[in-house]
Amino acid sequence: MPLRKPPLSDVHAAADASFTDFGGWEMPVEFDSIRTEHESVRETAGIFDVSHMGELEVTGPDATELMDRLTTNDVAGTTPGRAQYAAITNDDGVILDDTMLYHLPEDDDADYLFVPNAGKDEVTAERWRRHRDEWGLDATVENRTDDYAMVAVQGPDAPELVAAETDEPIDEEIGRFRGRYATVAGVRCWVARTGYTGEDGFELILPAEEAETVWSALDVQRCGLGARDTLRLEAGLLLAGQDFHPEENPRTPYEAGIGFTVDLDTEFVGRDALARQHEAGVEEKLVGFVMTERGIPRHGYPIETPDGDEIGTVTSGTMSPTLGEAIGLGYVPVEHADAGTELVVSIRERPRRARVESLPFLEADE
């Protein structure tokens, strides 16, 4: 299958970005250097093209019930203008994907817009339609991924930067995990105070054909998926397909450290399995760790006890540009999961010491 390209593809090529295949999309991975891009976001601001993220719109009398029954969180409890992070689970409570849901304003054509991960848009739309039909619900599910571009402006200066391109009081009016429509650089955008970097900032969803207008107006450090990965890892945020994977590394929200997205008082696919696990407690969970010996943990490296017993696997790892330390995520048995516990990561067959740290590695500036 040919790779899908974001509407800004030619603009990125002209800016001399390097590209990578991510979830079936050819996306910019680096514009200048990952370190430069990363530091800009932590210190001032940076802009990311995240048009590889899916956009599905759900509308109709039963839209709320459909969303509620297919995500782990309490959708009925949201009000228009709210953003809600949730997991999508199967009957076993295993995470198929994680997603951000936006409860759209009452006067909007659609009721909900939610954002599956790269390449999961169509399979998720099909899942929604299949369950809708099975449950006899009245709702339409539209895959708008190719109609929309999505850009993220992140960093301490990001709100001010976006606010400068609109006449509307978005910085004052849009609190964390909230969104509204606003005209940015002359383009009507869905503007949400959400992100994937651990910093303040906005994510903008807008018509694909207007992407270049908005991208050009927001004249700030261009950032690729490389910096997006180091930023999210420092913030302890999960990467779908890597920190959980329905086939290769099936995990529940409780194991993956996102139990806060699960509302057991709602009815949803996977609820009963998760209720049982909640009652019994998890056997393994995701931990963050820092290397205390030289070496960089990478996806797939074994995690061992100091005695050499293999107890888990690294799911993500990198050299943290902000901390100057090598950090990683991985699943270990709960008895090895407390902060301060000594672990060993086997790096090219050599044992290298690490220590469990509480997540996130880096606290967001408030």
Question: Rounded to the nearest 10 degrees, what angle do helices 225-234 and 34-43 cross at?
Answer: 50
Q: Which stretch binds another protein (CB under 8 A): 81-89, 150-158, 267-275, 294-302?
A: 294-302
DSSP of 281-348, one letter per residue? Answer: --SEEEEEEEESSS----TT-EEE-TTS-EEEEEEEEEE-TTTSSEEEEEEEEGGG-STT-EEEEEET
List residues bridging with 363 in a β-sheet. Answer: none
| Radius of gyration, alpha carbons of the chain | 20
Pick out residues in 49-88 that bind another protein (CB under 8 A): none
Measured distance CA(242)–CA(330) in Å, rounded: 10
Q: Which of 265, 279, 280, 294 binds another protein (CB under 8 A)?
A: 294
Give the nearest distance from C-beta 321 to another protein in angstroms.
7
Among 224, 198, 194, CA closest to 22:
224
Give the nearest distance from C-beta 353 to another protein in angstroms.
16
Q: Which of 298, 302, 311, 313 binds another protein (CB under 8 A)?
A: 298
Residue 29 or 191 having the CB closest to another protein = 29
Q: Which of 51, 197, 230, 346 binds another protein (CB under 8 A)?
A: 230
Q: Which stretch binds another protein (CB under 8 A): 175-183, 223-231, 304-312, 338-346?
A: 223-231
> For 198, which DSSP code?
S
Among 74, 81, 77, CA closest to 107:
81
Contact 238, 87 (CB under 8 A): no
**Burial environment of residue 317 by CB neighbours within 10 A (0 to 12, 13 to 18, 19 or more):** buried
Give the nearest distance from C-beta 293 to another protein in angstroms.
12
How many residues bind to another protein according to rule CB under 8 A? 18
Measured distance CA(320)–CA(35) in Å, rounded: 9
Residue 18 or 358 having the CB closest to another protein = 18
Is the Cα dihedral 242, 246, 247, 251 positive or negative?
positive
Q: Which of 75, 152, 296, 327 binds another protein (CB under 8 A)?
A: 296
Pick out residues in 95-134 that bind another protein (CB under 8 A): none
Binding mask 316-355 for another protein (x = CB under 8 A): --xx-x----x---------------------x-------
280 sits near another protein (criterion: CB under 8 A): no
Binding mask 26-45 for another protein (x = CB under 8 A): ---xx--xxx----------
Which residues sit at the interface with another protein, rule CB under 8 A? 16, 29-30, 33-35, 226, 229-230, 294-296, 298, 318-319, 321, 326, 348
